[in-house]
Amino acid sequence: MDCRRRGRGDGACRADGALAKDCPYTPVPGSAERKAIMDALREPVMAELKQRVIFVVKQLKVCGNWAFIEADPKQPGGRPVDWNIGAYADAVADDMCGGYVHALLVKSDGRWRVREQVICATDVPWVDWAQQFGAPTALFPQFD
């Protein structure tokens, strides 16, 4: 959502073109924006897991040109991924795999690109992503 293109000149427009009140938001399932974000994440995750994946989205937040995703990777059809393929077999065997994908994406030149991704985290991988990458803090889950 680029408020500059919508003729907003009332100060409600952030520097990156997003309406301040629209940050963060979750793209609607089935929308072109959501598909573009998930497809950008799918390729590197499939390469790392060495199998085709779909995602069960736990969280997807967008603010300006940034997106944060927490998702459960599944095989097409909804079966669990085979963690014995690829690099995570030992982590799963040792109960050291949270089973989720966490990712930070940035949109540049009209395309979403993965800036950082973590598969199988047992901690909170995004805790410093706002500071490290300059992403809006509103994207990330907050702790009390």
Q: Is the pLDDT score of 89 beyond 90?
A: no
- Strands of 101-108's sheet in order across: 54-63, 66-74, 101-108, 111-119
Interatomic CA distance for residues 113 and 99, integer angstroms: 22
88 occurs within a structural domain: yes
Q: Is the pTM of this model over 0.85?
A: no
**pLDDT score, position 15:** 46
92 occurs within a structural domain: yes
Burial 111-136 (b: 16+ CB within 10 A, else e): ebebbbbbbbbeeebbeebbeeeebb
47 occurs within a structural domain: yes
Interatomic CA distance for residues 22 and 63, integer angstroms: 7
As for how many domains the chain has, the answer is 1
**pLDDT score, position 12:** 43
Beta partners for 113?
A: 106
What is the DSSP-derived secondary structure letter of residue 77?
T
Q: Is the pLDDT score of 10 beyond 80?
A: no
144 occurs within a structural domain: no
**pLDDT score, position 19:** 55
Beta partners for 70?
A: 59, 102
Output the domain CATH number for residue 106. Answer: 3.10.450.630
10 occurs within a structural domain: no
105-117: average pLDDT = 97
Q: Is the pLDDT score of 8 beyond 80?
A: no
111 occurs within a structural domain: yes
Choose the most confident range, by mean pLDDT, from 5-14, 27-36, 135-144: 27-36
63 occurs within a structural domain: yes
**pLDDT score, position 21:** 63
**Residues of the domain holding 33:** 22-136
Strands (E), 36-137: 54-63, 66-74, 101-108, 111-119
pLDDT band for 142, please (50, 70, 90 cuts): confident
9 occurs within a structural domain: no
